Amino acid sequence: MQFEYKNYMPSPATKDILALAESREIVRPRDFPTIANPGQILRRLVDGGVMLKVGRGLYTLADRKPSGSFSLSQAAARAPGGIVCLLSALEFHDIGTQMGYRVWLAVGNKGPVKIDDVPVRIVRMSGKSFDSGIETHEIGGIPIQIYSASKTIADCFKFRRLVGIDVALEALREGWRERKFEVDELIEFARIDRVEKLIRPYLEMVLA
């Protein structure tokens, strides 16, 4: 891209930052461990109109057109250990009609999580319920962890008080209609989430 500072030649470090920013939707100072003071360079790029600050410690190229999954990239960058879940995972897998401006992220039960500059809904999970069914997808050049379609549907029944039983039922019906999951996988995740007895009657009606 064309560097826009007047009477300024970009340093090798600046070129490295811009090169990564070309391939990723979001970059952070921590993405440049071999560069001294990357945050300072990023702030200069913002001042020069080359980059935008889109959250605390999150930057993107000013002339980049955000993708439909831009908010996922933001959330994943702010919470590297988080896993996209529930309504956001349904939207990613194109199941049902649920959409929202917040990104739903599952995190472990230990430690505080504070993300106040990106619209995020945090859901606490633990054990196999947290660790199972994780897929990694590259979005905007960033690897993002997302629960599989079958794990997400099971989670909707587990967290039905958060998302609504109607959402869980829609996800089950639409997921099966679009062949987004295998029955055996769904039952296995329902066991892990301890909702197998709840989900079986609904599943039998959908399969009938």
**Higher pLDDT among residues 185 and 16, named by residue:** 185
83 and 47 in a common domain: no
DSSP state of 64: P
146-204 residue pLDDT tens? 999 999 999 999 999 999 999 999 999 999 999 999 999 999 999 999 999 999 999 99
49 and 75 in a common domain: no
18-43 residue pLDDT tens? 888 887 777 878 888 888 888 888 88
> What is the residue range of 113's domain?
70-207
Amino acid letter at 69? S
133 and 179 in a common domain: yes
Domain count for the chain, please give it.
2
pLDDT > 70 fraction of the chain, expressed in percent and rounded: 86
90 and 17 in a common domain: no
- What pLDDT is stored for residue 81 in this prediction? 82
Closest CA to 79 of 58, 62, 52: 58
95 and 39 in a common domain: no
166 and 88 in a common domain: yes
Q: What are phi and psi of 187, to 5 degrees?
A: -60, -40
Are residues 91 and 99 in contact, defined by beta-carbon separation less than 8 angstroms? yes
Please tell me whether the overall predicted TM-score, pTM, comes out greater than 0.95 for this model: no
Per-residue pLDDT band at 109 (split at 50, 70, 90): confident
Strands 58-61 and 83-84: unpaired
User: Which residues are within 8 A (CB) of 4 and not within 5 positions of it... i.e. 6 or more apart?
Assistant: 48, 49, 50
197 and 133 in a common domain: yes
Burial class (CB in 10 A: 0-12, 13-18, 19+), 45: buried
Q: What is the CATH number of the domain that holds 80?
A: 3.30.460
191 and 141 in a common domain: yes
Q: Please, where are the H alpha helices in 55-163?
A: 70-78, 86-92, 127-131, 149-158, 160-163
93 and 56 in a common domain: no
Buried b / exposed e over 5-26, threshold 16 CB at 10 Å, is eeeeebeeebebbbeebeebbb
**Interval 61-72 mean pLDDT:** 68
105 and 182 in a common domain: yes
120 and 192 in a common domain: yes
Q: Please, where are the H alpha helices in the chain?
A: 12-23, 38-47, 70-78, 86-92, 127-131, 149-158, 160-163, 165-177, 183-192, 196-207
113-140 residue pLDDT tens? 666 666 788 899 999 999 999 999 887 6
**Residue 199 within a domain:** yes
**Residue 116 within a domain:** yes
- What pLDDT is stored for residue 28 in this prediction? 79
